[in-house]
Amino acid sequence: LILTNQAFNDSLALGNIAIAMAGTATEQFVGLGKPAIAIPGDGPQFTPTFANNQQRLLGRSLIIVENPIEIPEILRSLLLNSEQLKLIAENGKRRLGQPG
């Protein structure tokens, strides 16, 4: 588990799954072929509408949860399903293209 507001590039490289409440940062993570779990909030930026729009862009690589209590089971499911992780990796790279 990495909790930081520093070393963004290192966090992207080291992380296997992101728990996100952001836009571009989530897309960058997914573009590396990694899954992200999003928690929409009540604030002005990462709203349920924004999260749903982002999921249309990112497809199966972004998993939206309504309640954070869902996250442990989603993490277990992802980590135990190598085929799903492979599909997510292919999806993220296809949807966002190569870095740069």
Secondary structure class of 56 (helix, strand, coil):
helix
Give the pLDDT mean for 70-80. 96
Is 61:91 a contact under the CB 8 Å cutoff? yes
Is 35:80 a contact under the CB 8 Å cutoff? no
Report the alpha-carbon distance of residue 24 to residue 74 in Å, rounded. Answer: 22
Give the pLDDT mean for 76-85. 96
pLDDT per position as a tens digit, 10-34: 888 899 999 988 889 999 999 999 9
Averaged pLDDT of the chain: 92
Where do the structural domains in the chain lie, given as residue ranges?
Answer: 8-94
Query: To the nearest whole percent, how much of the chain has pLDDT over 70?
Result: 99
* pLDDT over 80 at 69, yes or no: yes
- Residue 54's Cβ-count burial label (10 Å; 0-12, 13-18, 19+) is buried
* pLDDT over 80 at 100, yes or no: no
Q: Model pTM? A: 0.89
Report the alpha-carbon distance of residue 5 to residue 45 in Å, rounded. Answer: 18
pLDDT per position as a tens digit, 85-95: 999 999 999 99
